[in-house]
Amino acid sequence: MNVPPLGVAILYSTAQSRFCISASNEYKFGDISKEAAKRAKNAVANLLGQEEYKFGDVTKKAMNKAMDAIAGFTGKEEYKFGDITKTLLRKALNYLEDDDDKKK
């Protein structure tokens, strides 16, 4: 069995990986980073259900989801400061009042 020296094996493996990533025989500095960034942007865009990723899209999507959850909890379309606390207290008091009614 003919085993190449470790350095040759690493170089060969790196060259194969680079070729798979960049699909180019000629490597230029930054090719792998550019391809990785492109693939990451495509993956995030697919996850968000968009054609293309733009900076801030993940944050916008997360904020929209959070605001939808808040609206569902409070029953209000627009959030104002204190709505969550007021709703929480109202629901807690309603629960306690219902519990007292059951005891009577």
Q: Looking at residues 34-55, what average pLDDT do you find?
A: 88
CA distances from 32 to 23, 27, 43 (A): 10, 9, 16
Mean pLDDT, residues 49-71 taken together: 90
pLDDT at 7: 56
Tokens 């391809």 sit on residue: 35
pLDDT in tens, 79-99: 899 999 999 999 999 998 886
pLDDT tens for residues 63-75? 999 999 999 999 9
CA–CA gap between residue 65 and residue 87 (Å, rounded): 19
